[in-house]
Amino acid sequence: MDKQFYNDTGLMIVKEDHVCEHFEPDAGVLVPMRECWCCKWSNFRTDGEEDSFNSYSVCNYVGNSKQAVNK
Ligand code: SF4
């Protein structure tokens, strides 16, 4: 199993070809491939986002965010 990485707000960092069971096609994609690039929860196509760089994005699906480990 691949190790997952998270940004400083706890959102999972994903690559274009990653996919998970929560995939939902983005409304702006004509032919949605089953990968994060075409998923409505990623922000690859958002300009000016600090978290979107090169071929990486964050996943905004709350179920994929990092769980708090401190009580
Ligand atoms: S962007 Fe998030 S919810 Fe969508 S397929 Fe990738 S990991 Fe899953």
Q: Which two tokens stand for residue 31?
A: 């032919």
Q: Identify the pLDDT of residue 71.
A: 44
Give 15 Cα–ligand 1 centroid separation in angstroms.
10
Contact in structure between 34 and 19 (CB atoms under 8 Å): yes
Single pTM value for the model: 0.79
| Domain spans of the chain, in order of start | 1-61
Residues near 26 by Cβ (< 8 Å), separated by ≥ 6? 32, 38, 39, 40, 42, 45
Distance 36 CA to ligand 1 centre (A): 5
Share of the chain above pLDDT 70, in %: 77
Task: State which of 7, 23, 34 you would mutate to test the pocket of ligand 1, scoring each by most atoms of that ligand within 8 A of its C-beta.
Answer: 23
Residue with tokens 């983005």: 26
Q: In what helix (H) or strand (E) does residue 57 lie, and over which residues does it extend?
A: strand 56-59
Task: Say yes or no: CB of residue 41 within 6 Å of ligand 1.
Answer: yes
Is 37 touching ligand 1 by the criterion CB < 6 Å? no
For the stretch 37-49, pLDDT in tens is 999 999 886 655 5
